[in-house]
């Protein structure tokens, strides 16, 4: 893809990323006036609390915590957060710990233990402000006994590889954890809790973002068993995990707290940033650049290569008939696709989307696509995503690369790296899922 087109797509994407900057998102929703802290539609008189803590976990949690630290100033007692490696910030009163994502690691386990020990002593005279964002589920592993970290790691990998949705993955995470699925609210009770969420899930479902640590959990152990059976994982899961789920489904283990539980009476949960906000900002930037913007949906889900076929089909229709919008146009969508791992290559869902799109776009020179994660990290790679157009496959072939082969092996990263069409943004310290951007020229 030529550099001018890349820069146009990059500008449109980054406009969306800037719109969901976690620090600014928190500041838009919280205001301190004298001793009154206003959060959304609620207000809190700070003189009623002896201590004020900040805690949380997720890729975008550091800038959220920074905003809270700035707003509260000397009123803040202290705090503790966990973020992905490379996503930390130097804070004054809040300890920042870094850990592994998307598969939890020992550093995350130790950070979770450290934080939980400090939250267990909270009383009704404490105010706990929580900052949660995408990636929080992996960054705060607190295995429910007798599970071990290694068994959670294996389970997470199996679910990721079979293409389970984030809703399904987090259902199991909640029930394998001591803190997720509303259980953190149970631990901190009777303290007053205010949780701020930067949404990385379709529909902004609070119980799914970071596995809903302070949100009532509608899922059950029985649901987890059905998910395991759906993907044929009964014989692959660690025996201790399967035994835990079966014990829970039989009523031998306490369920996660459900809607109506008294533990949530002193909890406020609020979404401060979302994929929809990013899409709106990207659409505005596209308009400034002379493209007619069209937002399709912020609810995109499904297999990446299949969604790529459907997305590029809309671009082809614009070229062919001028519908549903006339060129020059910018078509946008957001959400989070999945990838069923079939090979041992390197890549992420956005790069896989882009490679499938490239195959679809051969012979359609007026259409260009960028698929990228707003967190700047697509799967286990250093790329946010990749660019694709009608020349992508030809450029690969000139370097001896077969796009069909790379796609079959889930090796999109090495394909795009070879032709120079990866988007490398570095950590953005935000996370509201992915943005799919397609421009169609006249």
Q: Are 356 and 309 in contact (CB under 8 A)?
A: yes
Residue 135 in this model has a pLDDT that exceeds 90: no
Element (H, E) at 93: none
In this prediction, what percent of the chain has a pLDDT beyond 70? Answer: 100
pLDDT 10s digits, 226-272: 999 999 999 999 999 999 999 999 999 999 999 999 999 999 999 99
Mean pLDDT, range 355-361, rounded to an integer? 98
Specify whether domain 3-10+276-440 bears CATH 3.40.1480.10: yes
Residue 214, SS3 per DSSP? coil
Answer whether 3-10+276-440 and 22-142+177-219+256-273 agree in fold. Answer: no
Distance of alpha carbon 316 from alpha carbon 84, whole angstroms = 39
Specify whether domain 22-142+177-219+256-273 bears CATH 3.40.50.10180: yes
Q: Residue 229's pLDDT is what?
A: 96
pLDDT 10s digits, 392-423: 999 999 999 999 999 999 999 999 999 999 99
Q: Residue 160's pLDDT is what?
A: 85
Q: Residue 145's pLDDT is what?
A: 93
- The answer for residues whose C-beta is within 8 angstroms of residue 124's C-beta and 6 or more apart is 190, 191, 192, 266
Residue 126 in this model has a pLDDT that exceeds 90: yes
Mean pLDDT, range 182-190, rounded to an integer? 97
Ordered by start, the domain boundaries in the chain are 3-10+276-440, 22-142+177-219+256-273
- pTM greater than 0.75: yes
Q: Residue 165's pLDDT is what?
A: 85
pLDDT 10s digits, 9-33: 999 999 999 999 999 999 999 999 9
pLDDT 10s digits, 366-379: 999 999 999 999 98
Residue 219 in this model has a pLDDT that exceeds 90: yes
pLDDT 10s digits, 41-53: 899 999 999 999 9
């Amino acid at each position: 893809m030529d550099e001018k087109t890349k820069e146009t797509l990059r500008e449109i994407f980054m406009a969306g990323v800037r719109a969901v900057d976690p620090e600014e998102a928190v500041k838009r929703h919280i205001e301190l006036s004298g001793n009154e802290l206003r959060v959304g539609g609620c207000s809190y008189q700070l003189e009623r609390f002896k201590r004020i803590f900040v805690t949380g976990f997720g890729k975008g949690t550091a800038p959220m915590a920074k905003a809270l630290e700035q707003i509260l100033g000397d009123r803040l007692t202290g705090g503790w957060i966990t973020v992905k490696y490379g996503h930390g910030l130097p804070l004054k009163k809040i300890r920042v710990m870094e850990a592994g994502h998307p598969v939890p690691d020992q550093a995350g386990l130790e950070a979770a233990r450290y934080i939980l020990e400090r939250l267990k002593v909270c009383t009704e005279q404490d105010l706990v402000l929580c900052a949660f964002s995408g990636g929080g589920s992996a960054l705060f592993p607190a295995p429910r006994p007798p599970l071990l970290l290694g068994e959670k790691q294996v389970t997470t990998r199996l679910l990721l590889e079979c293409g389970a949705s984030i809703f399904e993955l987090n259902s199991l995470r909640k029930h394998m954890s001591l803190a997720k699925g509303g259980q953190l609210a149970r631990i901190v009770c009777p303290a007053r809790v205010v949780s701020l969420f930067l949404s990385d899930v379709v529909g902004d479902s609070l119980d799914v973002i970071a596995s809903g640590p302070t949100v009532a959990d509608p899922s059950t152990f029985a649901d987890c068993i059905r998910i395991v059976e759906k993907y044929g994982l009964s014989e692959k899961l660690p025996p201790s995990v399967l035994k835990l789920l079966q014990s829970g489904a039989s009523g031998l283990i306490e369920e996660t707290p459900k809607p109506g539980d008294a533990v949530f009476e002193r909890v406020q949960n609020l979404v401060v940033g979302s994929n929809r906000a990013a899409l709106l900002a990207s659409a505005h930037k596209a308009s400034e650049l002379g493209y007619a913007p069209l937002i399709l949906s912020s609810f995109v889900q499904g297999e990446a290569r299949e969604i790529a076929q459907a997305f590029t089909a809309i671009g082809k229709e614009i070229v062919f008939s001028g519908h549903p919008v006339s060129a020059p146009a910018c078509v946008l969508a957001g959400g989070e696709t999945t990838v069923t791992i079939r090979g041992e290559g390197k890549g992420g869902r956005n790069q896989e989307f882009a490679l499938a799109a490239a195959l679809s776009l051969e012979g359609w020179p007026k259409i260009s696509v960028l698929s990228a994660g707003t967190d700047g990290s697509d799967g286990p790679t250093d790329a946010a995503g990749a660019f694709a157009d009608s020349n992508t496959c030809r450029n690969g072939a000139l370097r001896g690369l077969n796009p069909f082969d790379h796609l079959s092996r889930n090796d999109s990263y090495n394909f795009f790296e070879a032709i120079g069409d990866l988007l490398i943004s570095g950590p953005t310290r935000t996370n509201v899922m992915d943005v799919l951007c397609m421009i169609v020229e006249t």
